[in-house]
Amino acid sequence: MADITRIEPGARMSEAVVHNGVVYLAGQVGNPADTITDQTREVLGQIDRLLALAGTDKSRILTAQVWLADIGDFAAMNAVWDAWVPKGNAPARATGESALAAPEYRVEIIVTAAV
């Protein structure tokens, strides 16, 4: 049976879980006081950090789910996303509009990556 590694585990959830060469990240959110641009940058920075802890990086992301509190923020979020994603390594991605855990959160991103 393959080992399961939990990264930054808490009582309710772990920030990431690694199993069978795949890392699953929990949804990442930014500082609620910031703009959509700043929140997206913060989220992507957290994703970079967690992937590094798992022994991988953004070039190995398989899938991404992007949740926006307001789909009107789609273009601004994409401007940050497009600058961040390594050329030729864009993951499969879905984006939707949803109420997030707190009304101040504007974006939440969940990724799965190969180790």
User: Where are the chain's structural domains?
Assistant: 27-109
Distance CA 15, CA 47 (A): 10
Q: What is the pLDDT of residue 39?
A: 97
DSSP 91: P
Please state which CATH number belongs to domain 27-109: 3.30.1330.40
DSSP state of 100: -
Tens of pLDDT, residues 30-52: 998 789 999 999 999 999 999 99
- The model's pTM is 0.95
Task: Give Cβ neighbours of residue 41 (< 8 Å, ≥ 6 apart).
Answer: 30, 80
Q: 68-110, pLDDT tens digit by residue?
A: 999 999 999 999 999 999 999 999 999 999 999 999 999 999 9
Q: Is 42 helix (H, G, I), strand (E, B) or coil?
A: helix
User: Nearest-CA neighbor of 95 among 53, 36, 52?
Assistant: 36
Task: Report in angstroms the alpha-carbon separations of 53 from 16, 49, 80, 97.
Answer: 9, 6, 23, 29
Mean pLDDT for 61-70 is: 98
In which band, very low, low, confident or very high, does the pLDDT at 11 lie, cut at 50, 70 and 90? very high
- Which residue, chain included where needed, has tokens 């940058």? 41
> Residue type for 112, please?
T
